[in-house]
Amino acid sequence: MTFFLRADDTVEIGGSRMGAPASFATCEPAPGLHSPSTISVPAPAVTRYGEIRGAADALTDVEPPMSGFSREIIRIHPDLVRSFGHDEPAS
């Protein structure tokens, strides 16, 4: 699983099995509504952290963002983005 920052400032999360129930479980609200979502990306070997909060949509049957990915993605419309330690080189 990985994420992509798009030109419209949305974040798309994709992977080889994104349509699995655990991935989409919190992103499927009633039709026409966004689900609030948070993705946290810790890096255990170094002091780095990223957090993205916003409305999320679970999308199916979309063009895969890269080879080997499934046709499902989660798209986040960020309200809050914060991180630290990303400007420092990894040791």
Task: Summarize pLDDT for 58-80 with one digit per residue, the tens.
Answer: 888 888 878 888 898 888 898 88
How many residues are present in the chain? 91
Residue 40: per-residue pLDDT = 56
What the block records as the tokens of 6 is 């798009």
Q: How far is CA 25 from the centre of its chain?
A: 14
Residue of 68, 78, 81, 80 lying closest to 18 (CA atoms): 68
Residue of 22, 16, 14 lying closest to 59 (CA atoms): 14
pTM of the model as a whole: 0.66
Residue 8: per-residue pLDDT = 92
Residue 66: per-residue pLDDT = 83
**Residue 32's beta-bridge partner residues?**
none
Residue of 84, 62, 44 lying closest to 6 (CA atoms): 62
